[in-house]
Structure 1
Amino acid sequence: MDKENLENPVEEVSSKEVKKDFQGLLGSVKQFLRELLDIRQNTDLDATKEAIIADIPFKGHTSWILICSIFIASIGLNANSTAVVIGAMLISPLMGPILGIGMSLAINDIDTLRRSLKNFTVMVVLSILTAYLFFVLFPLRDESSELLARTAPDIRDVLIAFFGGLALVIARAKKGTMASVIFGVAIATALMPPLCTVGFGLAINNYQYAAGAMYLFCINTIFIALATFLVLKLLRFPMVRYVNSQKRRRIARIASLVAILVMIPAGITFWDALQESLFKKQAQNFISEKVAPYQFSGSGRFMEDFTDIEFNGGKEPFIELVFMGNETIPDNVIATWNKQKNEAEGFSRLRDAELQIIQGSQSEQGNQLKYVEELYTSQKNELLGKDEKIKLLESELKRLNKLNAKQIPFQEISAEAETNYDNLEYLAFSNAIRTDFKKLDTVSVFEAKWKRNAKRVTIVKESKKLHNWLKIRLKDSTILLTEIIQD
């Protein structure tokens, strides 16, 4: 009994020491994280506010800087020069009014909000107008890859804009502004190139390009303003005070309403971009796992580079697969792919998507040729800078051109031959592979069977005449003719 009483105090003291040590460790971790992540201690509220307000006005020097940056960005996009586009981003003053919008919403400053919106609108209109005039008047208007990259935003653009905005406002709020961060954000968020692309789309009457680029610009604007709003709220910037309490409440409600209106499209945009990104990821997985491994027994080929995946906002999404060559995909294989798309685990987002199969066959070589020519025309500009894809497509086009040139209208030929050659019993046709051991070539071979009672001299003469006629009629000097003479 005495032993038990002696042991209990030791256990109780040990437990208290462990608990005390754990609390001390937890306190040290909290202190470390506070020192590591807390940005309030080194924030200059007044200087930050003054710096943001100073960048809002748009007149004099700022307007000319904007016009110059628009021209530089337009030339860079037209010349497909990434370095020039980056230079235009660095000198663009577009970021000022966007930060002003976010700050004014955070501190209920209605006057600053009004000035920010006014200057922002003027900047956007002037930028689009300048880019439009450049592309209308400039003789070269190639659809470069730099331009096309700004026409189809996705979820990555949303994340870049939001975290770029966070970095920008945090750098602005720090005592001794970090210029390198500001320059980096200007490059990453890329406000100027989308506006130039809007002007380009309007100049060439391609409103799809213009709409896609404007959508990207709106994403950047909304999420930079939203990041500004959130950071300034976190830093507890002082609210603007009004003498009239009723006016103060009204302005606070207006600012809150505008902030909510900004957040709603931001949330919708993020959600839509996320859904599209997940859909395309599953579609790519489906193609790589189920379609690409398909083994052709003949000369068929899956043109993976020309796969088209369209989400269309969730309405009528489709996956277009392109196959070329003389071999068609069997119906049971297509049915299997559809079943896997609809039922296999990991492809739940593809159930409503239509699987479109575009393929050719030997009897439709003309249609293949037409399709490849259209594909080449429509995607030529999109493939700029991708030489290997262009070479692949040109090789396919050359092959189909060659096949198309050797197409034989056999029904017409046989009818004409029957009329012109009385001793001809039948005419046959086939393609043959010929080689001189240096290269392979496809030649057209005709087989003529002559009637039993025809004289040998007549057969030789008519065979030569038939052979020459076939060469002229089909415009192919490589045509071969074999004779079958009945005994």
Structure 2
Amino acid sequence: MSEHLFTNGDNPTPDSGDEVKKDFKGLLGSVKKFLSELLEIRTNTDAAATKESIIADIPFKGHTSWILISSIFIASVGLNANSTAVVIGAMLISPLMGPILGMGLSLAINDIDTLRRSVKNFTVMVVLSVITAFLFFYLFPLRDESSELLARTKPDIRDVLIAFFGGLALVIARAKKGTIASVIFGVAIATALMPPLCTVGFGLAIGKPWYAAGAMYLFIINTIFIGLATFLVIKFLRFPMVRYANSQRRRLIARAASLTGIAVMIPAGFTFYQVFQESLFKKQAQEFLKETIEVYQFNAAGRYVDNLTKIEYAEGKSPLIELVCMGDELIPENIISTWRVQKSEYSRLKDAEFRILQGGKDDSQEKFNYVSELYEKNKAELLTKDEQIRLLEEEVATLTKNVGKQIPFQNISAEAKANYSSIEALGFSYQMQTDFKKLDTIPVFEVKWKEGVRQNQKETESKKMTAWLKLRLQDSTLVVKEAD
């Protein structure tokens, strides 16, 4: 028996632990390969075409200047009328994004000439935008402080994240071979460069420079973080650096570009830190209110008006938490004292001023009017939110639908010319049709035939072309007709 056991010991079975490790390493390798193929963007990048397209969007003159002025007017009207849909339309046609991408690109590839042109055109664009918005609001008789305008006077951490990741999406889309129009539309809407500049002009026109300062701060945040995202993506994609014949000049320009990049990143980092601290303060303030005032039970005619709560945080100033309670019932002083003690238990709320405005504690007409005005104003803003969301959803759905129907007309016309020798010209347009139940957009191709082509040949060729285009474009709704 012992010899048999010894013989089995000389030829041990494979260790199951080694097999598990081997399988686990194989699994990790497969996951790594899958993620690498999923997220890899360098192989499908066209550096030369991307650089050329970004540089082509930098110049600001002629048509571009009029497009900017028109978009500023449209955005100003939309902000004044509190219309989200109109503001979105203005953002889609605005050419402001070009110089910002140019600045990020030039810093990344050490191109001082492109940087100089980008900064010059960007400055002219900003000045012209502010002047245009100022003149509109100064001369226009209706200058209400709508919620769309006031929303652009105080940025927070979400604006930083939107600008940075919107910039990432835009640059990655521009670097890809071909253009992703839906991404460019989405970034134009998300990053919102136009409305803050309109709000700057509005603040100056009505004599409230703090509105202008807050809106300009938001615009600077958007600009810096879009430029920073451009810089990082271009560096990651390893675009070739600009070389100069003079080695001394090359080193000087490289240092200047590096210093400029650092100078941009420092305020970007400071801004992110500042708005992040404000976000943490507001988060703790909301937690404090949820555990105190929101669970307090009024016995009679009293209630807490949560949408009038004011939470303010500013670097270098004392933070503020202000509550508004309506009705004749007062919150006892011992309860308020308990809340103050609880507030001090939060690390970021210790130095914050805690104030409660109670409707029945002060019967003065001035305070009554103040509380009533605040309540009605916020009530009106809340009532319009559902309408704004509905309009925004409709606009995004329309944009997505139209982008999906875009036709590669240049390729189609070249193929049609090669396949149909009797065609003299080919046109294309979208045509709106309705059966009074729904509205649809139909792609229509118009064919101009050469002289001498018989009618029966035209009909035969039109049927063949219609079948080919429907198969080629995967759209059964398109129509082919003879040009007038």
Task: Say yes or no: TM over 0.5.
Answer: yes
With normalisation by structure 1, the TM-score equals 0.75
Change (3 A) 1:288 1:20: closer
Matched-pair contact (CA < 8 Å) for 2:137–2:205: yes
Q: Could you tell me how far apart the structure 1 residues matched to 2:209 and 2:377 are?
A: 17
Match in the other structure for 1:211: 213
Deviations 1:439-487 (A, max 9, x none): xxxxxxxxxxxxxxxxxxxxxxxxxxxxxxxxxxxxxxxxxxxxxxxxx
CA distance in 2, matches of 1:8, 1:266: 68
Q: CA deviation at 1:201?
A: 0.6
Partner residue of 1:106? 108
Mapped partners of 1:28, 1:53: distance in 2: 40
Alpha carbons of structure 1 residues 2 and 222: separation in structure 2 relative to 1, 3 Å:
farther
> For residue 370 of structure 1, what is the amino acid of its counterpart?
E
Conservation of the 8 A alpha-carbon contact between 2:308 and 2:378: no
Structure having the higher Rg: 1
Q: Distance in 1 between matches of 2:185 and 2:115?
A: 24
> Aligned partners of 1:145 and 1:5: how far apart in 2?
87
Q: What does 1:318-329 align with in structure 2 at a 5 Å threshold?
A: 318-329=320-331
Whether the 8 Å CA contact 1:142–1:381 is kept in 2: the answer is no
Structure 1 residues 31 and 134: alpha-carbon distance in aligned structure 2, compared to 1, 3 A threshold: same
Q: What secondary structure, in the 3-state scheme, does the structure 2 residue paired with 1:239 have?
A: coil
1:373 maps to 369
For the structure 1 residues 6 and 244, does the alpha-carbon distance in structure 2 shift closer, same or farther, using more than 3 Å as the test?
Answer: farther
DSSP 3-state at the match of 1:324 = strand
Which residue is 1:115 aligned to? 117
Q: Quote the residue 2:34 is aligned against.
A: 32
Secondary structure at 1:292's aligned position in 2?
helix
After TM superposition, give the deviation of residue 212 of structure 1 in Å. 1.1
Change (3 A) 1:5 1:158: farther
Q: Deviations over 1:318-349 (max 9, x none)?
A: 11122233232222111101001112xxx221
Query: Counterpart in 2 of 1:348?
Result: 347
Alignment partners' CA distance in 1, 2:199 and 2:104: 25
Conserved in 2, the CA contact under 8 Å of 1:148 and 1:382?
no
- For the structure 1 residues 358 and 19, does the alpha-carbon distance in structure 2 shift closer, same or farther, using more than 3 Å as the test? closer
Alignment of 1:377-416 (within 5 A): 377=373, 383-387=379-383
1:271-309 superposed Cα distances (whole Å, 9 cap, x missing partner): 111111111121122112201222233423323222111
TM-score (norm 2): 0.75
Partner of residue 223 from structure 1, selected from 222, 225, 233: 225
8 Å CA contact retained: 1:302, 1:324: yes
8 Å contact from structure 1 (residues 327, 361) kept in 2:
yes
Residues 359 and 368 in structure 2, CA contact (< 8 A), matched pair in contact too: no
Seen in structure 2, the aligned counterparts of structure 1 residues 305 and 382 have a Cα distance that, compared at 3 Å, is: closer
SS in 2 for 1:350: coil
Residue in structure 2 matching 1:165, options 164, 167, 178 = 167
For residues 167-219 of structure 1, what are the alpha-carbon distances to aligned partners after superposition, in whole Å with 9 as ceiling and x for unaligned?
A: 00000000011111011100000000110011111110111211111111111
| 1-structure distance, mates of 2:10, 2:258 | 61
Of 315-324 and 230-239, the range deviating more from structure 2: 315-324
> Percent identical across equivalent pairs?
70
> Matches of 1:228 and 1:9 in 2, distance apart?
62
Deviation for aligned residue 1:127 = 0.4
Which of 239, 242, 256 pairs up with 1:240?
A: 242
Distance 1:200 1:383, change over 3 A: farther
Could you say which residue in structure 2 is the equivalent of 1:51?
Answer: 53
Look up the match of 2:204. 202
- Measured after TM superposition, the shift of residue 359 of structure 1 is 2.2
The answer as to 2:96 corresponding to 1:94 is yes
Following TM superposition, by how much is the alpha carbon of 1:24 offset from its aligned partner in structure 2, in angstroms?
2.5
- The 3-state SS of whatever aligns with 1:132 is helix
User: What's the offset of the Cα at 1:49?
Assistant: 0.4
Q: Distance in 2 between matches of 1:388 and 1:100?
A: 38
Show structure 2 runs of 5+ residues with no match.
386-484
Aligned Cα root-mean-square deviation (Å): 2.1
Find runs of 4+ consecutive structure 1 residues off by over 6 angstroms: none
Over 3 Å counting, the alpha-carbon distance change for 1:223 and 1:108 in structure 2 is: same
Per the TM alignment, residue 264 of structure 1 is displaced from its structure 2 partner at its CA by: 1.0
Q: Map 1:169-188 onto structure 2 (within 5 A).
A: 169-188=171-190
- 1:395-474 matched pairs, under 5 angstroms: none
Amino acid in structure 2 at the alignment position of 1:257: L
Structure 2: distance between partners of 1:281 and 1:322:
19
Determine the C-alpha separation between the residues in 2 that align with 1:327 and 1:387.
Answer: 27
Aligned pairs for 1:252-331 within 5 A? 252-313=254-315, 315-331=317-333
> CA 1:385–1:14 in structure 2 vs 1: closer, same or farther (change >3 Å)?
closer
Q: Is 1:359 the counterpart of 2:358 in the alignment?
A: yes
Instruction: Answer with 228-237 or 377-386: which moved more.
Output: 377-386
Worse-superposed segment, 26-35 or 166-175: 26-35
User: What amino acid is the match of 1:92?
Assistant: S
Structure 1: 5+ residue stretches without partners: 390-487
Residues 358 and 382 (structure 1 numbering): CA distance in 2 closer, same or farther, change over 3 Å?
closer
The number of residue pairs the alignment matches comes to 383
The alignment partner of 1:348 has SS state of coil
Counterpart residue identity of residue 348, structure 1: S
